[in-house]
Structure 1
Amino acid sequence: MRAAPARRGRDGADTRARIEAVALELFAQKGVAGTSVRDIALGVGVSEGALYRHFPSKEKLSRELFLTRYATLAAEICAIDAAERELERKLRAVVGLACALFDAEPALFAYLLIHQHEHLGLVPEAPEANVVEAVAQMLRGAGVPPGRVTLASAMALGCVVQPAVFALYGRIKGPLAAQADDIAAAVMVVVEGQARG
């Protein structure tokens, strides 16, 4: 008798994961406004009512997807920062992480990129939950002066994000990971220039 609740819980977690995966694909393709709850439910193979048992609204689903995935990426950047000693190795690892994420989950990367303006105001300031703050923390630790950290972070992120945008729209062919060394070298030039002041 006790095995049934555990199974329901596991099935519920599986259903929730499927809802999130389908929603990410649809949100990346059609936008949040262009995706209906019915579209998501049909993609998952559940009723709309079943979907609402997991997420009270499409907007809450959209927000949770953004905040949790964004925080996961930020935490991974913080882990790289803590694990690596040399700035160049840190930057190469972060760029490699971003390229691998893009190649493995282009819909997630597109979703984070395209919908960031809807959710960034809700992102905590802690580096472990905020990609921009995670990068800024890394750059502060590398000696970028406080007055230059924000600009350096923006430029470093731009060196990574813009190639990903080009890849999303087919202007860069092949896996983004093939470009990781060149992207990391560009980020290094930006950061060294800002550190020198």
Structure 2
Amino acid sequence: MPAVATRHRLRSAALELFVEKGVAETTTRDLAKKAGIAEGTIYRHFESKDELVRDLFQDHYFRFGAELDRIQRETVGDLDAKLRAMIDYMCRLFDEDATLYRFLLLVQHTALPNIRSAPTSPAIIFRDLVSRAIEGGEIPRQDPGLAAAMTVGAIIQPALALIYGSVTGTMSDFAPAIARACAALLRAPQSQKAHPGAPAR
């Protein structure tokens, strides 16, 4: 089997197993069996399971961010229009590729501190969108990093609620309400003086 095809099968198997069983609970033996390869073959492509996790997360996280950046740049209109287009995409991805979305959500807390920052990080895309809206007078002055974090949180929490079964439906069903909530959040009067936040990742 060509090396590229083997790596692809291993990455696909890992994505499914990490979501199904959890990263800690998935062994290299599990990965090899799922991918249909010898266990030792894994180490020809990745030094460890942790490196495989980082590789998967970083690749998909930055591609996710790049698509969000494309959408917000190509969407004609004000902040509301751009937010709606970006949120529509995020909700559609959840509905169409639940395994990938769940992987990004469930692994982010351990993976984010170990990856390099990049202009296509989703956090940076949202922060820059907020910054431009502030500069354009569309929303009150505020800490762009904090505002972006709260906006992303308003998108992620419904997804987690769906994953854990506390709400029913689809993310696409929720997209209009989430977009309205995010727009309202960004327009809420700010009671504290805006200040630069920590670098987004």
* Counterpart in the other structure of 2:102: 110
Equivalent-residue separation in structure 2 for 1:194 and 1:122 (angstroms): 35
Identity %: 36
Amino acid at match of 1:165: L
Q: 1:178 to 1:134 in 2, by over 3 A?
A: same
Q: In 2, are the aligned partners of 1:38 and 1:48 still within 8 Å (CA)?
A: yes
One-letter code aligned to 1:114:
L
- Aligned pairs for 1:50-129 (under 5 A) are 50-85=41-76, 86-128=78-120
TM-score (normalizing by structure 1): 0.86
2:165 aligned residue: 170
Q: What does 1:1-197 align with in structure 2 at a 5 Å threshold? A: 11-85=2-76, 86-128=78-120, 130-143=121-134, 147-193=142-188
For structure 1, list consecutive stretches of 5 or more residues without a partner in the other structure: 1-7
Secondary structure of 1:68 counterpart: helix
CA distance in structure 1 between the partners assigned to 2:191 and 2:111 by the alignment: 34
Q: 1:62 to 1:150 in 2, by over 3 A?
A: same
Specify which structure has the higher proportion of helix.
1
Q: Contact 1:127–1:137 at 8 Å: present in 2 too?
A: no
The unaligned stretches of length 5 or more in structure 2 are: 193-201
Conserved 8 A contact 2:65-2:125: yes
SS at match of 1:115: helix
What CA distance in whole angstroms lies between the structure 1 residues aligned with 2:3 and 2:190? 49
2:142/2:190 contact within 8 Å kept: no
User: Residues 138 and 124 (structure 1 numbering): CA distance in 2 closer, same or farther, change over 3 Å?
Assistant: farther
The alignment of Structure 1 onto Structure 2 pairs a total of residues equal to: 187
C-alpha deviations, 1:134-192, integer Å up to 9, x for none? 11011111115664212211211111000000111122223211111111111111122
Contact conserved, 1:139 with 1:149, CA < 8 A, in 2?
A: yes
Q: Do 1:152 and 1:194's aligned partners in 2 also have CA atoms closer than 8 Å? A: no
